[in-house]
Amino acid sequence: MSAVCPHLEDDIWKSSAVDLGAAVRRREVSAVDLVNASLDRIDEHDGDLKAFVTVDREQAIADAAAVDRDLAQGHCRGPLHGIPVGIKDNTLTKGLRTTFGSKVHAHTVPDVDDLCVARLKAAGAIVIGKTNTPEFGCGALCTNELQGPTANPYNLAYTSGGSSGGSAAAVCAGLVPLAQGTDFGGSVRTPASFCGIVGLRPTPGRVPIASGALAWSTMNTHGILARNVRDAALMLEVMSGEDLRDPLSSGRDVWRQQAGCSANGGVRVACSADLNFAPIDARVRAVFDTAVKRMQQLPLEIRPDTPDCTGATKAFETLRAVSLYHSHSRLCRDHRDECSSSFVWNVERGQGISAQQYVDAEAMRTRIYRRFAEFFQRYDFLVTPSAAVPPFPNSQTDVDSIDGNVMANIIDYLRITYIVSLVGFPALSIPCGWTKEGFPIGLQIIAAPFREDRLVEFGAMLEQKLGFAHRWPDIAAAGRDAVAEPRVAAATPMS
């Protein structure tokens, strides 16, 4: 602990957002101190990580000085007063370049903030910059023509995951304590798994999307990347709450109060490595099985079971393709030569899908949702792996096979996460173990809609009781051994 600030780590960039916020409010440390610590960490490591596309250095320092003045005058803006955050570069930020990972928007500077960004700023958060993403969030690698590939902090030759990989790497390596992401088919949970941190995809509507063209769409959500569950709960508290522009939006709660540590009996947990339909790498399955065995040490009612996912693949791929075609077909047509092949493939899959096919997909989604709803009458939580594969080399463009089994297409490996997006349940990814090669593996915890309170309570309990938690990477070693086994700071293994 710091001799100056006994509640904080010696290196303040290692401290949690909750502890940093409390220290700022006690005036033991300033917002300018926190921003400078983040900027120094970015200067030291982001040349290798490439987690940020844009760093808003001067504005971040000015904003930090402003919130420090507010506090000196007795005004605290909110629970994130003075906390540095990263914003994914497909999310609008007023006056700050937002590229969507695309050359087409290389110089785009929005004149408004997305609602979630506005809420973060209103709560006192300081936007450090924009984190990397594949073009319009479409891609297994976190790379584009402007920046990347973003490196995994545990081995710089490997990927941080798509598509919120910049946010995940920045949080894992201590560049920022919190970062925003987006999740359509697993774009928060996959990078959280790859980078050994917490990733939260809330129920659609919990964090309103006030500017989306398809207001009733439920598959794409804002999400949260943090190093512990309590920090994720704090960020969710700030970003959530009703907004009339989003017809799905719902109320706010104080989730960080639920992120305690309890292991009461009677909690019913279903577990499945693959939901009987998702391809899962054997290394992931081995870590998951060990994590489940460790969970059985707690007073939980755990049994293998899964909801029926029949029809999910066709339904998700149809609905996703239509959504992307609606949003991007004109841009893809007018700027095709400037777009990545992965992005073009994703968009053009929606061309020619008929109204009947679309309605059939919605009907199938309804049936699957009701199977999940019935399943959660019998269980409080469903746990699965957070990603089908461990991190893979940045030289590998896509996941085209798993354990020798060829994938049907470049998004097929996302089944274990996109089924949750399809039905619209909230999910939390926490680290649960390591492969023999030293890569982190995530545990995906799924709860019933709008039960984020139970989700963060259960996740925090596993984090604290079983040590399912983030470990600091040795970035210097990760660079030296970028083609060999990744290294982590010394710690007792989770598995």
Catalytic residue among 15, 16, 167, 187: 187
Confirm whether 419 is domain-assigned. yes
pLDDT digits (tens, 9 = 90+) for 298-332: 999 999 999 999 999 999 999 999 999 999 999 99
Confirm whether 191 is domain-assigned. yes
- Domain range for 194: 12-480
Provide the 10 A C-beta neighbour count for residue 29. Answer: 22
CA–CA distance, 430 with 433 (Å, rounded to integer): 10
What is the total count of domains within the chain? 1
CATH number at residue 35: 3.90.1300.10
- Give yes or no for a contact between 302 and 296, defined as CB atoms under 8 angstroms apart: yes
What is residue 82's predicted lDDT score, i.e. its pLDDT? 98
- Give yes or no for a contact between 180 and 224, defined as CB atoms under 8 angstroms apart: yes
Confirm whether 98 is domain-assigned. yes
What are φ and ψ of residue 416, in 5° steps?
A: -65, -20
Task: Note if 217 is an active site residue.
Answer: no
DSSP 309: -
What b/e string do you get for 249-260 counting C-beta neighbours within 10 Å, with b at 16 or more?
Answer: bbebbebbebbe
Confirm whether 354 is domain-assigned. yes
Catalytic residue among 16, 30, 38, 88: 88
Write the secondary structure of 350-414 as one string of H (helix), E (strand) and C (coil): CCCCCHHHHHHHHHHHHHHHHHHHHHCCCCCEEEEECCCCCCCECCCCCCCEECCEECCCCCHHH
Confirm whether 349 is domain-assigned. yes
pLDDT digits (tens, 9 = 90+) for 219-234: 999 999 999 999 999 9
Confirm whether 6 is domain-assigned. no
Q: What six digits make up the tokens of 41?
A: 């960490």
What is residue 495's predicted lDDT score, i.e. its pLDDT? 46
DSSP 202: P
Catalytic residue among 160, 163, 217, 386: 163
Task: Note if 395 is an active site residue.
Answer: no
Task: Note if 187 is an active site residue.
Answer: yes
Q: 59: exposed, middle or buried (C-beta count within 10 Å: 0-12, 13-18, 19+)?
A: middle
DSSP 12: G
* pLDDT over 70, % of the chain: 95
What are φ and ψ of residue 472, in 5° steps?
A: -70, 130
pLDDT digits (tens, 9 = 90+) for 227-270: 999 999 999 999 999 999 999 998 888 878 788 766 667 899 99
- Which residues of the chain have a pLDDT value below 50? 1, 3-4, 490-493, 495
Confirm whether 495 is domain-assigned. no
Which helix (H) or strand (E) segment holds residue 419: the answer is helix 415-423
DSSP 296: T
What is residue 333's predicted lDDT score, i.e. its pLDDT? 95
Residues with Cβ < 8 Å from 341, sequence gap 6 or more?
none
Taken as a whole, the chain contains a residue count of 495
Confirm whether 396 is domain-assigned. yes
Residues with Cβ < 8 Å from 96, sequence gap 6 or more?
54, 56, 59, 109, 110, 127, 129, 130
CA 81 from centroid of its chain's CA atoms: 22
Tokens 């941190």 belong to: 197
